């Protein structure tokens, strides 16, 4: 679910399959950067839908329906995001015990 909380913060709440997660590249042919997009969709099986993965050099397909896009210009930034996602995953595992 994509919403704003009472403080006005954008919230992407995952867990019902209603956010498509896709990856690709920004559409500037002179300065392509890897990106991840988050697109609202009807609830469904988590991970069942989504765009095919784009590879470097593929033609970019602009997604005007994206709500949020993460664009990476330094690989260390990807590592930071992955680290925090892994920490959140570990917290979820501990909560389920």
Length of the chain: 97
- Residue-wise pLDDT for 67-81, tens only, equals 999 999 999 999 999
Q: Is 85 helix (H, G, I), strand (E, B) or coil?
A: helix
| pLDDT digit string, tens, across residues 14-43 | 999 999 888 888 877 788 888 898 999 999
Reported pTM: 0.81
Where are the domains positioned within the chain? Answer: 2-96
- Give the C-alpha separation, 45 to 28, whole Å: 33
Sign (positive/negative) of CA torsion 44, 47, 48, 54? positive
φ, ψ dihedrals at 3, nearest 5°: -155, 180
């Amino acid at each position: 679910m994509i919403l704003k909380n009472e403080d006005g913060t954008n919230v992407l709440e995952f867990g019902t399959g209603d956010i498509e997660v896709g990856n690709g590249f920004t559409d500037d042919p002179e300065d392509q950067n890897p990106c991840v997009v988050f697109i609202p969709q009807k609830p469904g099986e988590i991970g069942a839908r989504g765009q095919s993965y784009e590879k470097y050099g593929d033609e970019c397909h602009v997604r005007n329906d994206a709500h949020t896009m993460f664009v990476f210009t330094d690989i260390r930034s990807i590592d930071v995001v992955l680290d925090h996602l892994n920490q959140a995953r570990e917290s979820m595992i501990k909560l389920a015990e």
